Each structure stands twice: as structure tokens, then as C-alpha cells.
Amino acid sequence: MKGEISNSMRQSKLFTKTRREAPKDEISKNAELLIRAGFIHKEMAGVYDFLPLGLLVIEKIKNIVREEMDKIGGQEIQMSSLQRKELWERTDRWSDKNVDVWFKSKLNSGGEVGFGWSHEEPITDMMKNYIGSYRDLPIYPYQFQSKLRNELRAKSGIMRGREFLMKDMYSYTTDEKSHQEFYDSVIEAYHRIFEKLGIGDITYLTLASGGAFTQFSHEFQTITESGEDVIYLEREKKIAVNKEVLNDEVLKKEGIERGNLEEVKAAEVGNIFDFKDIKSKELGLYFKDEKGEEKPVHLGSYGIGITRIMGTIAEIFSDDKGLVWPKNISPFDVHLISVGAEKSEAVKTAVDKLYDNLNSKGLTVLYDDRDLRPGEKFADSDLIGIPTRFIISEKTLEQGKIEVKDRETGKVEMLEEEDAVSILGK
């Protein structure tokens, strides 16, 4: 399986440590919590490293996205971040006036190179090697790639980084009709992805500006007070309009009554663009149709911000104690905590046995085997935010049960092992 998630870990072996306080220069809630809990490390404003716990979450998000992209015919690739100046000059997107987020550098051998903020130009140029006939189409390549954008503002933690991980897919089709069919299938796939990530009910398909891409685009916006966008919801139709394009013409086209709109703040977690045949004409990507006539290929572009989603979820699914991960993307299925194992051989034996049993069932476990006071372990567990906590102590041994705590609700139960495992859904 691609992107296989590693199994379990003893917390005493985890090199990261939790922190009581976040860095003083960090103002975003998501970064504060993720740094304190040991998921990320801040290199500089807008640039973060992903540590073992953070990488587990990233890989789970990627696997959810990957599964849905493969379902609709996607083929995964990996492209270079280094980009040729001449390609972007041909589409008039090399100029800092037209695209103001470039990172650029001079090559020792002469000339300039750009660091990828998007990949429409290089992947379209690459496709000239593989598309010649209508029989070669459609093609739907995608990748998970670090994008580099010279953002003026980088104060929202991993929700707006100068370096961030994105899933970007590109569709190459013969005409507008086949493009629209695939475009609609991506919309449905994105809805399934956000549902699996636990944010489906607060994420809206949103009409927006295309920015440096196209005149208009569709965004997927997740409602959150920490978001940088203002959108107007039509809850009944489950669609929205970004404030930047809200006008009577757009409302009429979308069949929306202004009086039904609700203003909210939101974070953009995905976007889709229709480039039509413009890029292909600019870069020389043509195919021969059934009659042997040469025609330009139709291009669509589809992004999901992987690290941005992680930050958005950290903002939404958290409380005054720490993170509260949705089960599908929690770094581990269960947080196993021993209480008194350093003093009781019976407790140590029981918790070690449970750890092995959980592993044998294919469950992933973070086992807190550290020699710390129970209160410290519980505080760390709250901060890290694994949704289910198993506790073994002398008290639980006396009852022959496991103390099970739900991180979100705070509900505590004493359960037999079989019943406790059933809560984990595996």
C-alpha cells in the first residue's frame, strides 16, 4: 500500500517533548497547539518542519486524498520543485507583476530558475511527450508536492505557509464536455474527502476569483473564525460565494437570493480551475482528433492544501486542553497510559500485554511508558489529542477492566478489553 502508516510507538522513545508554552512569536492557535504537542517545529515565519506525530497525521490525510483521486482515474507522479523560466514567460506568469509569490534564484551556470508555486506550465510541457492523439486522452496525473510561495503575510501557522504540502491534480481532455464531466467528478470526490476528514458539514463549494490562474474558480471553504476569507453561505443549497466576487450578476448566475446569504469567515482548503485550452495553445500541447485535425488539449487544475487542512482541523477540533483529532487522521488509534507501572510489576506486565494485543489486532498505539506522575501523562494526552485513551492501573486490574476515556466528550467507562477495542472501530 502506498503511504503505509507505521504501527505503534513507546512514548519514551519519541524524541519530541510536549511544551507548556508555545514560542512567543507564534500567534496562531493551530501552530501554538501543534508546536506544544510536538507535531511541528517552527523554522521561521511561514516555514515549519513536520515531526513524527505530525507526519503521521499528514500521511493519513494524504491517504484519504490519494484513495479518492485514484477512484476517479488519477495517476500519481512526482515532479521537480525547480521550474524553467522560459515556460512561465511563454504564459506571461514569470513576471512578478503578474505573479507576486515567486521565489527565484540564479543558476551558477547562468540563467534563472523558479521554485514551484504551482505546476500547470511544467506538467503541460511534459505532456507533449505523451499526448499526440485523441486515443491518448484523457489523462489525470496528480502529485503531493511542497509548494513555495513568497507570501507577504505568514501569520496563520500552517494554514498559510511560505512552504506547504499540496495535492495538485491536472486533467487533460479532448473538449469542454469531457472536461466538465471530470470537473464535476472532482467536486464529488472533494466532498467525500472532506466528509472523511470530519469537516464535510462545514465545508462549502464556493465561487471565487481565479487570481493568477483564471478569471473565476471554485474553492472549498471551511467555516472557521481563524479563516482569512469572508464568504456568503446559501446553506440550503450548500454553496457559497467569496466576498471578492459577490455581485448581482454572480448571484443571478448561481440562482441565489441575496437575502438568503449568511456572512461567515472561512479557510480555503481546496480549489479547482478551468484553464480551457489557453495553456495548451501557449505551450504547444495539441492532439489529433478522429479526423486527423490538430486541436489544443483542454486543461483543468485541482488543488487540496494538505498541511492547510491539518492546520484548519487543529483550529476547529481543539479545546482549552489541547488537540482533539478526528479518528480518521489521529496519529494513533489509541493512547495507552500506564499508571503505577514503575512500582507495580503486575501493572507493567498487564499494560505490556495489552500493548502487544492491540498491535496484533492491527491497531496503532502510542504507549505512554514514561516514569511520570499520572497528572503529567494525562495532561500530555489531552494536548496530543488522540481521540481514545486506555488506562491501566492497580484500580483497573482489580476490576479486570480497562479505563477508557473519550477525548472529545470526556466520558469515562470501565470496559472489558473486547468492548474497549470495539470502540476503536477495528
User: Domain boundaries in the chain?
Assistant: 9-319, 332-423
Calculate the CA 412 to chain-centre distance.
31
pLDDT at 153 over 90: no
Triad 367, 372, 376: Cα angle to 5°: 85
User: Count of CB atoms within 10 A of residue 394's CB?
Assistant: 14
Please state the rounded mean pLDDT for residues 8-14: 95
| Percent of the chain whose predicted confidence (pLDDT) is above 70 | 97
Triad 131, 133, 139: Cα angle to 5°: 45
pLDDT at 212 over 70: no
Confidence bin at 4 (pLDDT 50/70/90): very low
Residue 210 is predicted with a pLDDT of: 64
Cβ–Cβ < 8 Å for 368, 377: yes
Confidence bin at 211 (pLDDT 50/70/90): low
Cβ–Cβ < 8 Å for 339, 391: yes
Instruction: Give Cβ neighbours of residue 160 (< 8 Å, ≥ 6 apart).
Output: 46, 151, 153, 154, 228, 308
Please state the rounded mean pLDDT for residues 284-289: 98
Cβ–Cβ < 8 Å for 54, 60: no
Please state the rounded mean pLDDT for residues 55-73: 98
The fourth-level CATH superfamily of domain 332-423 is: Anticodon-binding domain (3.40.50.800)
**DSSP states of 113-159:** EEE-S--HHHHHHHGGGT--BGGG--B-EEEEEEEE---S---SGGG
Same fold, 9-319 and 332-423: no
Element at 206 (helix H, strand E): strand 203-209
Among 148-152, 192-196, 373-377, name the one with the lowest average pLDDT.
Answer: 148-152
Residue 79 is predicted with a pLDDT of: 97
Q: How far is 254 from 270, CA to CA, in rounded Å?
A: 20
Summarize pLDDT for 71-114 with one digit per residue, the tens: 999 999 999 999 999 999 999 999 999 999 999 999 999 999 99
The fourth-level CATH superfamily of domain 9-319 is: Bira Bifunctional Protein; Domain 2 (3.30.930.10)
